Amino acid sequence: VGKGNQSNGQEFILLGFPGNQYVQISLSVVFTTTYVLTIAGNVAIIALVMVHPHLQMPMYFFLSNLSFLEIWYTTACVPKAITIFLGKSRTIPFLSCILQMYFIFTLGCTEFFLLTAMAYDRYLAICYPLHYSTIMSNTKSAQLALGSWVSGFAIVSYPTSLMAKMSFCGSNIINHFFCSTDSLVILSCSDTTPFQLAAFTMSTIVILGSCLITVVSYICIISTIVRIPSAEGRQKAFSTCSAHLIVVLMWYGSNIFLYVRFSTQNSLEINKIVNTLSIIITPLLNPFIYTLRNKEVKKA
Q: How does pLDDT run across 22-36, given as a tens digit for each residue?
A: 988 999 999 999 999
| Nearest-angstrom CA–CA distance, 90 and 201 | 32
Alpha carbon distance 36, 44 (integer Å)? 12
Name the β-bridge partners of 12. Answer: 92
Confidence of residue 261 (pLDDT cuts 50, 70, 90): low
Model confidence, pTM: 0.86
Per residue in 214-239, pLDDT (tens digit) is: 889 988 988 888 888 887 777 777 77
pLDDT digits (tens, 9 = 90+) for 171-208: 888 888 889 888 888 888 888 899 989 988 988 889 88
What gap in Å lies between CA 54 and CA 161, rounded to an integer? 44
> Tell me: the pLDDT tens digits for 126-174?
889 889 989 999 899 999 999 999 999 999 999 999 998 888 887 888 8
| Residue 292's pLDDT band (cuts 50, 70, 90) | low
Residue 11 is given by DSSP the state E
Q: Give me the domains of the chain, ranges plus CATH numbers.
A: 11-299 (1.20.1070.10)
Residues 218, 184: Cα–Cα separation, whole Å: 37
